Every structure is written in structure tokens, then in C-alpha cells.
Structure 1
Amino acid sequence: MACAVLAAAVGTHPELVVWLLLVPAGVLLAVVDFAVHRLPDIVTLPFAVITLALLGAATLLPGTDGRWTTALLGSFALGGSYFVLFLLTPRSFGFGDVKLALALGGVLGWYGWAIVMIGTFAGYLFGALYGIALILAGRASRTSRIPFGPFLLAGAFAGVLLGSHG
């Protein structure tokens, strides 16, 4: 389903191949994080490297609708920001989220800084809405921990959808 939505939104631009290759890993990470509250290094670290490498390759093809340099800088900016959050609040922000942010910063950065901000905000918004829903349903308290990776991924997905139309 996610692949079909991306294909419809992105069209025939070379980066579509990148997004379609990354979706299965993103779905796997979301499922694992929901199940065990962990984002495994064996997936997150290659996910970040492969993301940037594939976007670099897409830049070499005609018809590309993004910028690799902004993707690279977005990767470092989002990864660095999440690392600071991890250092400030290690009990509420996992290091797996930091590693995932490297890839997602690249994905969002492909379409520019505005999309980095929108995709990041969307991830936080989705996570907050989920947490509020759990609290209202009586299934969690204000101090309960929820997996954040799925919401970071959903925010990046929303950012790519918006960025591909820009």
C-alpha cells in the first residue's frame, strides 16, 4: 500500500526506486519497534548508509527531483539533533531513534529544509496523538513509554509525499 501511494505521488523520478527499496526496511523497523521497543543496529545502520548511497546514485540520473547535498546535510542535522535529545533524555529517547534519524534526515533532506521540518514535526505529532489516544483509552499514563520509530517513519513518509509535490 505504501509503495503504491509513493509511486502515485512521486511519479517516474529516479528517487522513486530509492523510496520503494527503503519502504520494506521501514515497515520492518516499525513492526520491530512496536513489538520490542528497539530499533536493531543490524537494520538501522545499513538503512542510513544505503539511503545516502542510493540518493547519491539517483542524483546522477536525469529527471531527479531532489538534491543529494541537502539530503546529506539533513541526515547529519537530524541525526545530530536526535543525538542531543538522547543525551538530554536517555530514558525517554532511544539511541535507535538517533540512528534512524540519520536515514530519515537524508530522505527528508532530499526535498529541502522545509520538508525536513515538516516531516520531523509530523512524526512528533503522530506520536503525540497516539500517546494521547492511549491515555484517553486508559491503556497508558503520562509517563508510559511508547515506541517512537514508527512515528518517525510515518512523519518521513508524510514529508516525502509533500516534498514530491513541491
Structure 2
Amino acid sequence: MTQTRRKPPAASQAPAPTIPAIPKPDVPARLAALPGLPIGELKAEWRRLFGTEPPPYNRRFLESRLAYRIQELAYGGLKRETLERLEALGEQIDGRNVTLRRIRHEQRPIAGTRLIREHQGVEHVVTVTRDGYEWQGRPYRSLSAIARAITGTRWNGWTFFGIRPRSGA
């Protein structure tokens, strides 16, 4: 007869941190206090409310995420159905294409726009399509791919074609 041995829990597996519940009446005061907190206290608050190390982003990002988290812990987060619906809508827009997901839809040039760039004496015309771009009759997912095909080197496509994001976006 053989015995099976249970593995003892690994020492590196620390118990998950307990995230404190936030009483609803405390929410307005906690939100109002965030802009006045020193950055060190914002990071400590992040550790308390998220149970992780804060990301290396700017103060404004930390404040906005902490404000959301405070409200989430007090009033509850989005329902699972809502999260699934948002994910499905996002996939409809970007087709699971990570490149398109990073570029906001409203920041991309409007479909039908023609981008013209002269490189080494040759004029190149790119047409913006609903799903990406077209150059020399071939579809491309990104301007960077077109810039690389034109130059033979890696370029940021937006920089190569002189596109600047719209202000206020």
C-alpha cells in the first residue's frame, strides 16, 4: 500500500492581502483628500486598496484609479455581465488586434483619408480604410508596416506620415 503525501504550502505563497471595505459615508471625504496627499501616501493607499505595488505612473493616474477603487469598494464594481458586454464591444471595434486597441478609434484618420508622403523622390499615397490602411493596392494593419515597406527600416508610422493626434483626445 502506498501513501500519497500532501505537499506543504510553499513559503512564497503568502496569504492574499485583505482589502478593507469602505463605508459609504466616508467616500466623499476620501475622494476630496486624494489631491492633497503626498505621493508617498498615495502609493501607500494604493497598496492598501489594491493589495499590490503601485505602478510607476504619474500622480494624476494614481489619483483617478484610487478614486475609482474607493467608490468600487464602497458601492460595488461593475456586474460580470457588464464587463463581458464591454469586452465584446471592444472586440467588435478592434477585432482582437492589439495595435488597433492601443490607438483610440477617434484618433485614427477618418476612413477615406489619403496620406501622401514623398520619400527619396517618390510620392507614396496611403488610403485609410475602415479596418486599417491600403498602399499600392495591398491592405496593411498599421502605418508602421507601410513605412517599413517604403524605407526598409523601422519607423513609427504616425511620425513617418506626419500625423499628430487631435488635441483634446
Per the shorter chain, which TM-score range? Answer: under 0.3
Greater helix share, 1 or 2? 1
Greater strand share, 1 or 2? 2
Normalising by structure 2, what TM-score? 0.25
Higher relative contact order (CA 8 A, sep 6+): 1
Of the two, which has the highest radius of gyration?
A: 2
